[in-house]
Amino acid sequence: MIRKKLRHTCGKNKKTVSNWVGKLKDVPCFLVGCGPSLEDHPMRLIDGLFSIGINSSYQKIDPTILMWQDPEFWYQVKRDLRNIQALKYCRDVSDPSGTHYHFILDNGVFQHIKNPMVLFGRGNTGALSFELAYCLGCNPIILLGFDCKYRGRKTDFFGVNNFHKPHTLRMCSSGLKWIHQNHERGRVKVINCSDNNIFKEKYTLKEAVDMVKDDYEYTGRDIFLSQMFGSGCK
């Protein structure tokens, strides 16, 4: 069971994320994407567990961290963001309000980052969320809604995403292949609960939770954020 002693101190800069590295070592992380298969899972099963939600996934779960990279997303949902408790972590240019935690998006291939202030690769927030989870030290990493394909006319669990572009699925598959490579090479264990063509194995959310049930406690958002920042840093 994960029973870490918490440090109740804040850094000098409340908005820095550079000290997140390794703060959640061996904590299971649920990465929640927006693929149509997200509808297949009872999300209540991960209440109280550490999760990183991507874009509109907040409509299904109020995650520990909500992450996005596109400015258009902020303009579309800025009112909704006020009503969710998740820590908001986004690309610097995607937060005109300047109120959330930021990363800079650099060019190049997806990679294992050394500082969550700078992420690498473009066109796939799912792969960027994996970079963050890996940097935090999370293991295993469970994928939900990482489909990289449509289901009928549905591009996402909520229906049609008008921001999808012709290259969206291609970039999604590229990022998912990189995530799979990390799993195959033993860098981190990845449990796939998504309907995609990259991972051979697919588990239900209940099966995934049962697989990691001895590796966590139901500690809740505040405890995880305390481990990352110290008490009071949200």
Domains and CATH numbers, the chain: 18-229 (3.90.1480)
Please check the confidence at residue 226 and state whether its pLDDT lies above 90: no
pLDDT digits (tens, 9 = 90+) for 93-136: 999 999 999 999 998 899 999 999 999 998 899 999 999 999 99
Q: Classify 135 in phi/psi space as left (phi over 0), alpha (psi -120 to 50) or beta.
A: alpha
Question: Can you give the pLDDT at residue 223?
Answer: 85
Per DSSP, the residues of 117-139 read TEEE-SS-HHHHHHHHHHHHT--
Is the pLDDT at 9 greater than 80? The verdict is: no
Report field, pTM of the whole predicted structure over 0.95:
no
The contacts found for 51-54 with CB under 8 angstroms, 24 or more apart, are 52/129, 52/132, 52/133, 53/86, 54/125, 54/126, 54/129, 54/145
Q: Which two tokens stand for residue 180?
A: 């799979």
**In this model, does residue 230 exceed pLDDT 90?**
no
The tens digit of pLDDT for each residue in 164-180 reads 988 999 999 999 999 99
Does the structure show a pLDDT above 50 at 151? Answer: yes
